[in-house]
Amino acid sequence: MSVLFPKLAAAIAAVVILPSQTYALENTYLPVEKVPYYEEMPGQPHRLGPLWGKRDVGPAGTLLKVPGGWQAPIHAHTADYQGVVIEGTWSHWVPEMGEGKGIELRPGSYWTQKADQMHADACMSEKQCVILLINTEPYSTFFKSR
């Protein structure tokens, strides 16, 4: 993971450009074993770990952790977001347009997703996937039946 840190730091620096009035920078430390993961939806194995902000209110950074081999149902979100793969091999695609299908996103990879566009995600590796999700507008998830 130490070889990955410079790439991850560069990717985060490149994608996170928030207005200075949004956050007063303070020294903050959160060891990985203390990330407060929680269950987003009953019956689903994915877990969310808030790092900064509140994603349902506004700007936020959230870790998504899923088991290897997991695939999300087709869904969308109420806000644009950016994703960075931290661990595992991820796949993200837009079925309606075929965008992203077959692209393997390994640690350090990055993608963006437009609000309200149905898409799918899967952890392609045998080991778990950990993804950093970054949003600047209030963000919630909805499924095709919306």
Flag whether 12 is in a domain.
no
Give pLDDT, residue 144. Answer: 79
pLDDT > 70: percent of the chain: 82
11-28, pLDDT tens digit by residue?
Answer: 454 444 444 345 557 899
Q: What is the mean pLDDT of the chain?
A: 86
Residue 86's CATH number = 2.60.120.10
For residue 110, the tally of other CB atoms under 10 A from its CB is 15
Q: Which of 51-55, 99-103, 107-111, 134-138 has the lowest mean pLDDT?
A: 99-103
Amino acid at 99: E
State the pLDDT at residue 9: 47
* Confidence (pLDDT) at 108: 98
Give the integer Cα–Cα distance in Å for 119 and 112.
Answer: 11
pTM of the model: 0.80
pLDDT of residue 23: 54
User: What's the total number of domains in the chain?
Assistant: 1
Domain boundaries, position 55: 44-140
Asked, for residue 25, whether it belongs to a domain, the answer is no
pLDDT given at position 57: 95
Structure tokens belonging to residue 140? 């919630």
Distance CA 71, CA 74 (A): 9
Residue 9 lies in a domain: no
Listed in sequence order, the residues at least 6 apart from 126 whose beta carbon sits closer than 8 Å to its beta carbon are: 68, 69
C-alpha pair distances (Å), 63 with each of 24, 71, 132, 139 = 21, 17, 5, 14
pLDDT, greater one: 26 or 1: 26
Structural domain includes residue 116: yes
